Amino acid sequence: MINNVITWLLASDEPWTHYRTLVDLLDRPETDLEVQAARAAMLIHPQVQAMMAGAALWGQAPFKRHNDAGYPIYMLSTLADFGLRASDPGMDALIETVMAHQAQEGAFQSLINIPKSFGGDNEDHWTWMVCDSPTLLYALLAFGLGEDARVQQAVAHLASLVDENGWRCTVDPQLGKFRGPGRKDDPCPIANVYALKALSLAPGMSESPAARAGAEILLWHWAHQKERKLYLFGIGTDFRKLKYPYVWYDLLHVADVLSRFPFVHDDPRFREMLAELVAQADATNRYTATSMYMAWKGWSFADKKIPSPWLTFLVRRIVKRDAASREL
């Protein structure tokens, strides 16, 4: 059955799915001719080209809410998920735009507008929050810029922000006492997801105390899902719906991030999470979106009527990471 799924993924008309299936599920090297062909097809695909054009608008309009799936930062992170690199045509200008806005302490900044009703001033500011800067860092690391001194500074800064219970709602000091709608000492679930995703790509950080603290709070939240919401983030019906891109706090996003850290694979809380995810397959072991972002209409992962090759790939990759760690 699994071999049939792989065959289906390879036959997909989505070159990003074809490419990542070859590399991540079949362990084919980047020098492989079929891998190179799939990657070349991805780079010139109209949907990918349109996404690159959308990502290039990053910084031209302010962030007003962090779950705005149409905001360019999520096009940037999706390009990273697909496997684009800094050396690909059209990426250099976008990357330099992102890197041009870095706080002195190391965090990459976004243009953010906080309404007065949330403690802001209704003005646009280049600043950072721990629920946006790690996404920029993740993308830069995925693009292959881990050796850049600016990126390394951002990694060190992100790791320095962790508390004993993971990442709390931490923001640029210039924002004063602003924080999200939760208890001051509580961790912020989505901030931990974003931070862990970035650290998973940073050399030497996958077993770090920061990574372990962040993973633990996500597992703790799963175990206490009926008791606590953290910063208004709950684990209920909506959390369990299959949804992409990775914008917010949901089962696929959290499981993907945790699966990057082998030290959680034997944890019974992760095993429960993984079982609930895998159980959403249809009779042919394929996965269909059960929720969608309208900003991404036209992509298979934003279609609730037919199985999505990309969603199916994402779940199979999580399962493969888990299986691979058990073989060691």
Find the CATH number of the domain harbouring 208.
1.50.10.20
Helix runs in 102-223, H state only: 133-142, 149-160, 189-199, 209-223
155 lies in the same domain as 204: yes
Domain boundary among 197, 228, 259: 228
Using DSSP's 3-state secondary structure scheme, residue 164 falls into coil
Cβ neighbourhood burial of 82 (10 Å; 0-12, 13-18, 19+): buried
80 lies in the same domain as 113: yes
- Domain count within the chain: 2
Chain centroid, CA 144 distance in Å: 16
CB 257 within 8 A of CB 77: no
- pLDDT at position 34 is 98
Q: How many CA atoms lie within 13 A of 204 on its CB side?
A: 6
- pLDDT at position 118 is 67
Rounded Cα distance between 258 and 206, Å, is 11
Please give the radius of gyration of the chain, using alpha carbons only, rounded to the nearest integer.
19
Rounded Cα distance between 159 and 151, Å, is 12
- The DSSP H or E segment spanning 126 is strand 124-127
184 lies in the same domain as 294: no
118 lies in the same domain as 37: no
109 DSSP 8-state letter? P
- pLDDT at position 183 is 78
Rounded Cα distance between 307 and 298, Å, is 13
Domain boundary among 180, 210, 228: 228
Instruction: Tell me the residue length of the chain.
Output: 328
142 lies in the same domain as 103: yes
40 lies in the same domain as 114: no
List the Cα angle 77/32/12 in 5-degree steps: 60
Whole-model pTM over 0.85: yes
Cβ neighbourhood burial of 73 (10 Å; 0-12, 13-18, 19+): buried
Domain boundary among 228, 261, 280: 228
36 lies in the same domain as 172: no
The per-residue pLDDT string of the chain (328 residues; one tens digit each, 9 = 90 and over) reads 668 999 999 999 999 999 999 999 999 999 999 999 999 999 999 999 999 999 999 989 888 777 889 999 999 999 999 999 999 999 999 999 999 999 999 999 999 887 776 667 788 889 999 989 999 999 999 999 999 999 999 999 999 999 999 999 888 888 777 767 767 788 999 999 999 999 999 999 999 999 999 999 999 999 999 888 887 889 999 999 999 999 999 999 999 999 999 999 999 999 999 999 999 999 999 999 999 999 999 999 999 999 999 999 999 999 999 987 655 4
Give whole-number Cα distances, 308 to 11, 14, 297, in Å: 12, 10, 13
- pLDDT at position 223 is 96
212 lies in the same domain as 154: yes
- Residue 280: give the domain boundaries: 1-44+236-328
166 lies in the same domain as 190: yes
Helix runs in the chain, H state only: 2-10, 15-20, 33-44, 46-55, 72-82, 91-99, 133-142, 149-160, 189-199, 209-223, 237-240, 251-259, 268-278, 309-327
Rounded Cα distance between 75 and 65, Å, is 15
183 lies in the same domain as 95: yes
76 lies in the same domain as 115: yes
Using DSSP's 3-state secondary structure scheme, residue 185 falls into coil
- pLDDT at position 2 is 67
Give whole-number Cα distances, 319 to 83, 292, 311, in Å: 19, 23, 13
139 lies in the same domain as 175: yes
